[in-house]
Structure 1
Amino acid sequence: MLKSTYRPAAPTPAASSLPTGWTEHKAPTGHTYYYNASTGQSTYTRPTAGPSEEPLQIDYGATEPDQVMRASMQAMDEFNRNKSQNDATGHFTGGQSYQDRSRRRGNQGDRPKSKAPIPNCAPWVLVKTKLGRRFVHNTETKQSLWKFPQDVMMAVIEMDRMEWEAKKKAEAEAEAEKDGILNKEEEPAREKSQPADDRASTPGTRAPTQTVGGPHDLDHDNDDSYEEVEVTDDEGENDDEGDEPSKRRRLSHSAQPSPPPGPLEFNEDDIAWQLAQMEAEAEGDVEDDYVNPDGHGHDVNPTGEDDEEGLPLTEEDTVALFRSLLDDSGISPYATFEKLIEDVHVVEDQRYVSLPTTSARREAFSGWSKDRIAQIQALKAQQESEQSARKRDPRVEYLRFLHKNATPKLYWPEFKRKFRRAPEMGDRNLHDKEREKMFRDLVARLKLSEAERRKELVGLLKDTAQKDKDAFRPAMTVDELPDAVLRDVKFYTLEERRRDELVRTFLETL
């Protein structure tokens, strides 16, 4: 059976009576509660007679406050009236039924957002909520009040006035700074436009026109490349200020400036013209005399019909020229001849016409493709053979990996987790059980003394030499040792430098 957690309040003296407007009632559960008919408030706590709870009334005409203080007082008075109306409607403790209650917890979901100390009113602080409401809180007594005390309210009003003045001052400074920036931006534009306006307003003058010679040519007023021109009625009037007549560029050929001394430089037009001439000469359309470095000239005939000095090209030479073109074109030997002739750069090359017919070019391309494919296959086979030669036994590679990283301080699970990304740990030619077995065997032998490990390695070398007398050579390296030695764990129990010295000493004794 459920037990009630209600505990009755301590008995009060009979002499203490309820305040005016409060009446005592019994709830259906048997609990005593108190109800105020004027305010509609109900509570389980017995109310006591205390100081007057009437809202503070302010006489606005008494002290003639300024506009900011008057607005703050009116807002505070309106807030108190709205609060009293809300308290009259109430919630569960004010007589409202369970169905009419808001589903939000607390004061309609409102929460404190910020707080600020009230000047000259410690320890009171002003707290602002998310919904814009304000209340005061005493940091010493932990008391919070919606209705401000008299002295606290006057301090809050003064605080609001100071904040309002600071806000207005900041806005004024921002506007002044903005206006200053705009004025600074307008001054250069005004200075640039002023000379132009002055020149436009001066009668009998004309705006200067841009010349090919550049700005430095305008300073030479007495240059022969300029001539004086009279100003017509359309160009200027009232020319009484003594301005010099405007000058314009002479169009006569005699007034052209002389070329600068020194070597001439070719521009893009000269280079383009030379290229066009070279192409025309290569096609046989232009016949010109070329001068050799020795100073003797001769006629060049690209067709070679009348060339008596040069030797004619043989068939092998023409095929070699065409093959060099194929090598330089970068075309794949697996492509077709039709793919080759689609390339404009190949067709326009002079080596393309070294073979007179298309059938000859096709045959040369076929031979070149076969030779290149054979070279590619031979190179691929050589690379595969080199890779297979370089391929090591996975057991040997794993033992070398253990020799570098395994220590008696690491257990197998820790070692496996630490080096899980190493390629030796992911080799599929070895099973995890084999890796674990070799790891445990090596770690167990590393715990032995160095003398015992040297003795085991010497015994391994002697046993291998007895089984195969040709297995060792005096000049062989460590990597050339027999697989029976390289695949044994005993070979990796010593430090690499000391192990190699021991192996060389053993080979010298053979």
Structure 2
Amino acid sequence: MNPALVQGQHALVYNPMLPPGWIEHRTPTGQPYWCNTITGQTSWLFPSPLPPLAPQETQPKKKKKQTKKKIPGTNWLFVLTHDGYEFYYDRDTKTSVWEMPQALKEPMEELKKLDEERERENKLKQENEAKLAQKEKEDADNKKRMLEEQEAEQEAKRVKLEQEIAQENDNNEQEEHAKEEGLEATEMTEEDIMWQLQQMAEAEVEETQAAAQTTPEAEEQIKEEQKKPELSEEECLAQFNQLLNERNISPFAIYSAEYPKLMTDPRFSLVPHNKQKALFNKYCNELGERVKNEKKNKKKPEDEFKDLLVSKVTQKMYWDDFRRKYKDDPRFKALSVTKEKEALFKDHVKHHLGKKRPTEEYMDLLRDTKDIRPGIRWRDAKKILEKDDRYYLVESKIDREDLFRDYLQDMSK
């Protein structure tokens, strides 16, 4: 550092134009120089100012809304400005004061209590609304979880049923394969058990009949049985299927599970033992196809509801009347959402019943035309009616004349 620039030997001068951190000194001869107190730098040249900082964009603060509150029991208003200032306004004298008059001390306390009570009520209302929203959310979550559990349970049942059917089919294939190769079973199969059960049932019936032969009534019964004509193969099959239908056999039923319930019915023994399982499976397959076709051909709930609208709704009918009158109709119940049903009803009334039919328009024309009265001839009436557009809504000339004559006949009654 130049010893000529030592601060202690020179005068310190204040200069507001200097950048931050710089101070100005003068030598004994009056020459200025500058020193930076932060960096220790000195210079004979005037320090260059720092580049100006870009002005920060500040969003204007939203002004609070000015509020006015009526002070209870007085004609004064308590006013809170948007800047947060408070003053009192006398509506009678139309004057404002900053200081609260002594007469307003008790009314202001009452106003404060009212504000606090209102605030508590608002807070309580918000808490109740929050609790209600939370409860609705929990209910919705619980409902969703229950539906998911039900769907999972149904899916599990369906998978289990498919596995059982697949297992049953595998067992059948294994049995057929064993028969083809002429293998001898080392233990009793499902078919053997069922055959033995049937043989036991037939033996039991024979024993019962043998024991009853000693009585005249039993002899008569045997004679009656012998008189019965033998059934054809088609009749036996029809009774076999009738038995399955009466027992409400499901399309997914398994022969081994249903066999003990069917074997005691005489109609089950009308078909040969070696064909019973095949006929049972055929019945289930045909029933499954029939159910599937019924579901495919079944109308959608919306279409069923529209059929009800077409057949029952009149132009003067209101939704409440329609709902009350047909609420027990299966077509009404087919659609579950009430708002959707009401919307379809109003749409039907607006677009399908909003306009009168051509015949109704033509009859309105006859009623509106005062010159149409008993005794007027058709050719004279036609000249009058042709001037109105409603005359041409009925396209058939014959229908126009017939409706005209029917109208005159009704007028003459």
* TM-score of the pair, normalised by structure 1: 0.25
Greater share of residues in helix: 2
Bigger radius of gyration: 1
* TM-score of the pair, normalised by structure 2: 0.30
